[in-house]
Amino acid sequence: MPDLSNLLQPDRGQSARTIHLVDAKGFDAWLSAQPPRARAAAEAQKLNPTGYASAILPGDGAEDWSVVTVVANVEKLSPWCLAKLAETLPEGSYRVEGREPGPAMYGWLTAQYRFDRYRKSDKASGPRVLLTGEPAKIDETVRLAEVTFKVRDWINLGPNDLGPAELEAAAEEIAQAHGGTLTVTRGDELARGYPMIHAVGKAAGKGRDPRLIEIEWGDPSHPRIAIIGKGVVFDSGGLDIKPAAGMRLMKKDMGGAAHALGLAELVMSRKLPVRLHMLVPAVENSVSGESFRPGDVLQTRKGLTVENSNTDAEGRLILGDAITKAAEKDPELMLDFATLTGAARVALGADLTGLFANSEGLAEELLAAADAEADPAWRLPLWDPYDEMLKSDVADMVNAAEGTPFGGAITAALFLRRFVPEGVQWAHHDIFCWRQSPKPGRPKGADAVSLRATWKVLKDRYGG
């Protein structure tokens, strides 16, 4: 990871190239006010008032130049307004003319992310540094971008390099860095205490055995919160095996765990006045003679029985046991993150997080934060009439509704809700965390989604 703190610097009047901002409504007036050489340069580069368009403008001296870029609204910058420039401009220092970059500092940093674990880029360039007159905002922006880089790295890793043990190592590093307590449950103790986590992960190969990873941190007298992430390091679908196309990106099925780890690190590094309990059930859903089967009736930590109707609906199983454990500590708030259903993607596409919440107030907080942070989410209903779709003839419930292709994201959320105790505010994020095509500040591949919004809610609630 590059030293992101060097990419944002306090503006002390040092030498820097100027970034001019213009939007569609002011474009014509801006262009007409430019000297002839600047107008000629803009026209030669076919600058139009469309998003992210930019042009290099000559200055008075032979080596003097500045850059103009088109944004949606000059008066209200988004995190992504300057991200394209951070990807394309030459190495050097830059300042925005006449205003502070504000939220655009985040995209300036995330645009300079590169995943080069397996292949060195032949397009490497030096750092692009952005100056700001609001130095108090640098630390928070850098911290958030650093966590985003970590989340992207974990998800981008090949599944051969990120199994349950590596998730445990990541959690251990975070816990040690911030004074948290790490607890890992595996083997016979896992089978006894967390039977669904054990059932899903027991088919994995040597060294990739399932486990529940927990971090506890903070003053026990502070409000207790639980952050839970689905840690399926690779999902073959189990005996209900996925087709090749459906399996191709299943290294990202631990994206919920990556988000839980990242959010936990933000909580601890910022010393938020909460008692944190982070839980990651880490498994590989593999195929072997040990695989759990369609028709198996699984025990749960909560005491309910689950008839397994689909081995590819495994994420909700492991989350059920983890939510039960979190509930035993009486948290006032639970947040879970999971790459849970294709149905959410069919409904919402790749960009929108599917948000479920059992509290109107919590839902409103999360949606407002999603809008404020340009970290989009869309609320889906916990529609009670669909609860009957989880009925089983032989057990307390099935894990996936049978006989219908409809409402899959909702029935998955309803399954999880059965493990959430009354009176606990709970939100479930059905995430995708993968960009199929690049956008400024958000390269193709892994990405952090709903992270900034949930972090804002926690800061606003608990005074961080």
8 Å CB contact between 274 and 225: yes
Q: Which of 459, 270, 273, 463 is nearest to 373 (CA)?
A: 459
CA distance 403 to 197: 26
List b or e across 231-243, with b for residues whose CB sees 16 or more CB atoms inside 10 angstroms. bbbbbbbbbbeee
What's the token pair of residue 237?
């679908």
Determine which helix (DSSP H) or strand (DSSP E) holds 268, and give its type and residue range.
Answer: helix 255-269
Q: Which of 114, 137, 143, 242 is catalytic?
A: 242
Phi, psi of 54 (to 5 degrees): -150, 165
For 433, left (φ over 0), alpha (ψ -120 to 50), or beta? Answer: left
Farthest-apart Cα atoms in the chain, separation: 82
Q: Pairing between strand 333-338 and 224-229?
A: parallel
Query: Concatenated DSSP letters for 66-118?
Result: EEEEE-S-TTS--TTTTHHHHHHSPSEEEEETTS--TTHHHHHHHTT----SS
- Alpha carbon 218 to chain centroid distance? 23
CA distance 358 to 367: 14
**Residue that the structure tokens 């790749």 belong to:** 350
Q: Pairing between strand 54-58 and 434-435?
A: unpaired
What's the token pair of residue 131?
């100056």
**Residue that the structure tokens 């994995």 belong to:** 204
| Beta-bridge partner residues of 19 | 67, 96
8 Å CB contact between 106 and 80: no
User: Is 242 a residue of the active site?
Assistant: yes
8 Å CB contact between 86 and 124: no
CA distance 225 to 222: 9
What's the token pair of residue 11?
């503006």
8 Å CB contact between 203 and 288: yes
User: Is 248 a residue of the active site?
Assistant: no
- Contacts of residue 153, defined as CB under 8 A and 6 or more positions apart, other chains included, come to 1, 115, 117, 446
Q: Which of 95, 316, 325, 452 is catalytic?
A: 316
CA distance 427 to 297: 27
Q: Which positions are annotated as active-site residues?
A: 242, 316
